[in-house]
Amino acid sequence: MKDETGRARVIIEGVEPEIDCGRFPIKRTVGEKVVVEADVFTDGHDAISCLLLHRPAPKAGSRAAAKWTEVPMEPLGNDRWRAEFTVPQMGRWLYTVSGWVDRFKTWRRDLRKRVDAEQDVSVDLLIGAELIRQAAERAREARKKSDARVLEDLAADVSEGEDLAGRTSLAMEDELAELMDRYADRRQAAVYGKELGIVVDRERARFSSWYELFPRSTGRDGRHGTFRDAERRLAYAAEMGFDVVYLPPIHPIGKTFRKGKNNNPQSEPDDLGSPWGIGGEEGGHKKIHPELGTIEDFRRFVARAGELGIEIALDVAFQVSPDHPYVRDHPEWFRKRPDGTIQYAENPPKKYQDIYPFDFETGDWRALWQELKSVFDHWIREGIRIFRVDNPHTKPFPFWEWLIGEVKRENPEVIFLSEAFTRPRIMYRLAKLGFTQSYNYFPWRNTRLELMEYFTELTQTPVREFFRPNLWPNTPDILTERLQYGGRAAFAQRFLLAATLGASYGIYGPAFELLENRAKERGSEEYLDSEKYQIREWDLDDPNSLRELIALVNRIRRENPALQIDRTLRFHGSDNDQILVYSKTSEDGGIGDIGGNVILVVVNLDPFHTHASWVDLDLQAIGVEPDQSFQVHDLLTGARYLWQGTRNFVQLDPQQAAHVFRVRWRARSEKDFDYFA
């Protein structure tokens, strides 16, 4: 092929989204849009054409790449262009941008100007006819004979005849423009220098409701629970509307330096230890704690969850107790201290004598990597497709990029949740490397300003292209001060924030719905009598439980697509800093379209006092015209209100922590507004 590189005059830059100069892929789920913008321009005054190109990434070992699918880009003004496409299936995809000087488009634009100026265009029509003949030749080369004949006939009609006005009108027809676009001369097209990546996950990567429970606490009368016992808890979680049940490690627990109750370094003979102290004489990461049952019991548990519409997520913690078989069989995988003992885990001043970290700088690192991947492979074979990964920020970044890439290449449906409460750049790097979802700073964002600033960063900046937050108001490690002292209203408030700010959220239960707020000591976020170290019995029928509210909100989330995405989150004004107002809109149907879904949430951030406010709405964000009345239907209480304009009044006491309004700006039928009669 003749090299036309030096004649390509179009410049392509400022492509978005693009993460770290194309080093990392963006994230989407099946059926989501990818909206791409780019600065595309050339010297002089010639018109240009642009295409967004996308295709599946080549399979490993495959020599043939799929053909690019082309989407015309539309000009936004000031040399900015935009196009979009929808990713249809899981896996990796590629996209890039191409542009070229379009001689026909330039000619047609200038012809219109000359006609408007009443200039003689007879010669110009001859120039256009020649461009059309060249397009006919390209159609013939593409074996599109019928199009070639049409173009040849059009070229003749434009170049010949005495009816100048008719020839000019023919040159301006849309049919001709469409054919010329189809057979444009792209020999001098420029292509952006990078093929940018997309990781496409299944829907649950974007929208999920998690419930964490300890199977050993599902027994009765203080007895160690089993998977048979935990089956009953699955129905309880399903009734509340959860679709993911997450289990802490289910493996044998070591006895050496086993932790006692309340993290006591000295254990009693009947102490169970921490599930994160993995490994004993019964085995390690691929075995089940014998008191939980057998592998057959586990398989039955997973199958029962599936019948209830629940997926089981397992905790993967890459650390071992001193009794783990790895310590005996692979001492080279651990770091030795000068006295010959193995270095246990520390985060000074905290000491974790019951676990050893792996030494990822070992000379045998390749074997270590392969063995750790085999842990995921084992549980994937047992039907697990969701993993919560403990403290990934304490393992090397290259390891995670390799492991997640390998696992998802073989099983693209697998979801990884990163439990990394650490510095922002580290959390973001892990997400870029492949973690599907991520824990985040939500538990400690309490004020209106804190929440608005943080969630604007997560949903309205480039962070949203790679970081999917999973919001947890509590975990077995985190009992925040707000929950310790805020009472039932604080639990309701934090739950409603998590479930409506985030498309994915989770709670550690039954501690959360039963309002467990006892800290180990003042100033600590550790639970008193934590399930991490002992069995707890829970009264699931406690009348003060939040289970009914949780079930209602999870149903609202399922029925309203706006709550199933994060990127449409927008904050609205309020003249009271204890009132937070935000909206979400569905992307299907479109804002302002009667088929769309708009949710407006108003939250009282003070768990102790009633607050009122005039809210200041961004009407454009919720698809309402300035002079239009609209209905807000509180999905929590059933109440309906008629609002108009940007400023409307709200009042919330602590017992009703929030309004979750469905906004209707146009009646679907007369009965929609019957209650105003």
Is 419 one of the annotated active-site residues of the chain? yes
Beta bridge partners of 319: 357
Task: Let me know the angle formed at the C-alpha of 360 by 359 and 361, rounded to the nearest 5 degrees.
Answer: 90
Q: How far apart are CA 509 and CA 228, in angstroms?
A: 18
Classify residue 221 as exposed, middle or buried by CB count within 10 Å of its CB (0-12, 13-18, 19+): exposed
Peptide bond into 348 cis (omega under 30): no
Residue 301, token pair as written in the block? 């548990």
Q: What is the DSSP code (8-state) at residue 275?
A: T
Q: Are 496 and 656 in contact (CB under 8 A)?
A: no
- The strand order across the sheet containing 504-508 reads 437-438, 415-419, 386-390, 311-316, 244-247, 208-212, 504-508
Give dist(CA 270, CA 212) in Å, integer: 25
C-beta atoms surrounding 333 within 10 Å: 22
Q: Residue 178 class from Cβ within 10 Å (0-12 exposed, 13-18 middle, 19+ buried)?
A: exposed
β pairing state of 244-247 and 386-390: unpaired
Task: Compute the distance between CA of residue 485 and CA of residue 498 in angstroms, rounded to an integer.
Answer: 19
Q: Would you say how long the chain is, in residues? A: 677
Q: How is residue 59 annotated by DSSP?
A: P
Catalytic residue among 157, 212, 229, 419: 419
Whether 153 sits among the annotated catalytic residues: the reply is no
Name residue 135's amino acid. A
Do residues 563 and 241 lie in contact, with contact meaning Cβ atoms separated by under 8 Å?
no
The dihedrals phi and psi of 647, each to the nearest 5 degrees, come to -105, 125
- Residue 361 identity (one-letter amino acid): E
Question: In Å, what is the CA distance from 357 to each residue of 257, 391, 432, 516?
Answer: 15, 11, 24, 31
- CA 204 to CA 412: how far, in whole Å? 12
Q: Cα dist. 668→83, 589, 593 in Å?
A: 32, 14, 11
Cβ atoms 494, 502 nearer than 8 A? no
Query: How far, in Å, CA of 176 to CA of 157, rounded?
Result: 12
Give the Å distances, CA to CA, from 515 to 233, 335, 546: 18, 42, 8
CA distance 550 to 496: 9
- Catalytic pick from 323, 354, 390, 606? 390
Calculate the dihedral angle through the C-alpha atoms of 370, 376, 377, 378, rounding to the nearest 10 degrees: 110
Q: One-letter amino acid identity for 449?
A: L
Provide the H-helix boundaries in 33-119. Answer: 103-116
Return all residues near 73 (Cβ < 8 A) that are at least 6 apart.
36, 38, 40, 50, 51, 52, 81, 82, 83, 97
Rounded distance between C-alpha atoms, residue 552 and residue 636, angstroms: 7
d(CA 583, CA 500): 9
Name the nearest CA neighbour of 202 among 86, 29, 415. 29
Which residues are annotated as catalytic? 390, 419
